[in-house]
Amino acid sequence: GEIDIGVERWSENPEHILGALANYVRLGDEALAPDAQFAKGEREAEAMIASLLARVHGPRRAILRVVLGRVRALIGGREAPKFQIIRLLATPSRELLKPVGRDLVARGRLSAEDDIFFLTLPEARRAVGGEDMRELVAARRATYNREHARRRIPRLLLSDGTDAEVALVSVGEGLRGSPASPGVVSGTARVILSPAGARLEPGEILVAPSTDPGWTPLFLTAGALVMEMGGMMSHGAVVAREYGIPAVVGVAGATDQITTGQRVTVDGSAGTVVLEVGPKEEAQPVLTPTTKSGASPQPEPTVNVADG
């Protein structure tokens, strides 16, 4: 995530966000436009608040009105601690270390500028002192790339080292996970393993291993979300609810069982993903990451402010 100082920022490489903006421009239905979706969400929130207030009377209604107002006004502050850590520590640290990396490359101590992020502080000091760190970094990059290539990280390992979830949980001609955002949508699946340079057509079902803030621009064009990892409060589930699209998370093996081009039906209330039987297209290839973490370039830190 963006708290990792080795992750490239959108301000350094805006390709990802420009691609997302291009997707927005291609939205053919005005009802799917970002401003229309946000306005719809605000209307639904106001209607829900009115419904809740109608169920109580007297002092309870006044208390509920105050509490709801405060929650809506302050909920954006939940990101403030992380925002301050990134603003005061992560981003400045990256800006300080990048010139050091460039200098070490020029002096033949490193092979690439961002190799500096594979070193500890004492090791970086030794490199500045003249020690060649290229072999050490190459070994660490190889280990990192091997681990990053894992399609799925087991949530639980048994005492013999085997995966406790090797058997996929299926239902009929589909898969089962945890309901995360209500609604039922049928559409064409798009399996995306990395958001960097990803293409998602309006209304397509986003199928992903997991998501972080770098995936957020894809949600505005997605018809629904199917995610292998996560729970009700994971990033993908929260953003799906905010944008009003159905979501099913914790679907083991989703990126293996679902193929790009396949028709699927996502039921975000029941937690099921029904797969239509028929010819499948070849899945979208894994995009080679260009950043240390392999994640998409991350946005500059901002604090979300909920509508009052």
Active site amino acids: 235
Q: Please, are residues 298 and 83 in contact by the beta-carbon 8 Å criterion?
A: no
Q: Token pair for residue 246? A: 């159905």
Q: Please, are residues 5 and 94 in contact by the beta-carbon 8 Å criterion?
A: yes
Q: Token pair for residue 172? A: 């009929």
Q: Token pair for residue 51? A: 């419904």
Q: Please, are residues 212 and 295 in contact by the beta-carbon 8 Å criterion?
A: yes
1-75-268 Cα angle (round to 5): 70
Coil/strand/helix, residue 237: helix
| Residue 17 identity | I
| Residue 289 identity | P
203-204-206 Cα angle (round to 5): 125
Q: Please, are residues 280 and 188 in contact by the beta-carbon 8 Å criterion?
A: no
Q: Please, are residues 270 and 226 in contact by the beta-carbon 8 Å criterion?
A: no
The residues, any chain, with a CB within 8 Å of residue 122's CB and separated by 6 or more, are none
Q: How far apart are CA 276 and CA 174, in angstroms?
A: 8
User: What Rg, from alpha-carbon coordinates, does the chain have?
Assistant: 22
- The partner residues of 298 in beta bridges, in order of sequence, read 9
